[in-house]
Structure 1
């Protein structure tokens, strides 16, 4: 099958599939390792893949860059660097609803002419896919209305309107969790099939079920200092735990969690920084190696459409503390919101630092090994690249046969 994959694709995540040195290639669109995982599995199963993404560094030249490898073509299209101010003689990309980016992607898709196109996220990538006029599948990785509710801005309002256009004009949709399927029910005319995100092989090759440790090394991976990510109660909860258990460590990763960043500054101001190690943005493979050395993942987000880092921690054998009402989180960890010893997580009210602190204590009780084993096994059953890709391939075939949702 000749398959197009459109979405936020970083060059580093597809470098192994290219026959050229990638040092001089544009970096692509960083932030979603799962895109490279899906592409790699499709290639492994013998399919031809054309992948499409954007990079603002190409705007000055206006030229799409193409790199290739066995059965693989990678198109990096220009995008405007600024959302609001003029980009040379063009408006900011948000003002016209990403029209330039959509046109560039559409042109590349039509040039490659795949049998079917699979777009990820319901914004410019999906809009370009629809306009290219090929049979298509759109995977919804977030609920635009929910994102807008937590991040009230004009930019997010425009993104929401772009997504509404995609929902109105798209033909076939999947999403990544049962929570997301429920959240999007009113936006599309047919039921949305659930296909979870895949984990990279290098994640699944690591980790093991683990016995209760003597250490208390906790990881928190959070990209952004905002209401939805909800870091403040988690930091306060760790400070309470540290008073009871001075050996406790909190390792913090992601945007705003670097040395001297927003999170550390706030913690110092509040007198909460004891025992905290601020790592900031960390390359994914390095992040996984460091996460494997920890004992627990603390995930305080108020809402998640999936939560890849939770699934990765499960695969490594780390128990989880996370929100009992945080969107897809209970489904990802294998719970219906009940704190069950056979589940890999202790779920709690993550808006309350006292309850988070109590949950951190509970995770290290006699059920630690069972939680570790439950997550380790569930991650391999639900989130392996082959299982996810096989589900998508079955949907592609049904779309091409015209039998989806019949």
Structure 2
């Protein structure tokens, strides 16, 4: 594991020492006061100082914290497809990505509730530059993806991350979560970037081909959908820059503000869908397409179909679609009250005198409707 030292989560033997380093940090106090309201700090500190494994920390502190987040900022979490997963089996969960922290935290909460092993999860090191956040991410079994590297360094880093993922899946029998693309989807178009698959394939060994490796590791598509994106307004500056063909530069604390708003912002209903284990489909690709680059593209297309087909569409998606196209195609999918609530949020967060802003905000919610419709029509034919 020495080659993974700068990207790996903590070992269980390191957890208690790491906790002792952050036990008096004001951000940890704020988190625990939120998780255990009305309880003296000595209570949770004593519990935490007796914690000696990542699993203990996740179950006793992160899981109740996520339940409190759901209670305070949502109308509940529903799931589908978890019955397909087996205990004591590792999976590579490839997921659409909407929220920095919640996507993986909610998935792991659901895995725990279903008696399944929680994942080790990818996180960009740009999101955990502050020492406290880096320590917290390692205590919650995240591994680092290094950002902003030059080409040669990027290649070596990608190989190392790929090797770590293989190590987790095959040697440790530990499931892994990774997003289908670098960074969160901001425009509602969930698309698997082939570069992610190419990076994963760098872990092949001996004479193993990429497609043979993907057949071994139980690839599972995951679809996560929020009725309200708690960071929708925060995504607007980047969307507008993109629409105007401008280079977008993040503000100094933008990632942290996005992370915080994702946790405390209103989400209403949330759904996580576990798709089919793709091994049979990957096997078919290996038998029908001999060109390796085309195999990866077919795998990316396969993931897209499953992620989009499994995406739960909410009234907000249909309302935005009808507003964007100025029709009532999906009027039967929402109530007048739901439309009024969405329009109120829309007017509050968007400059209505800026047509590009209006279109970008609505498209963020409407694009999943178009994408799922296209995919379902393709599956029929």
TM-score, structure 2 length as denominator?
A: 0.33
TM-score, structure 1 length as denominator?
A: 0.32
Higher RCO, 1 vs 2 (CA within 8 Å, ≥6 residues apart): 2
More strand by share: 1
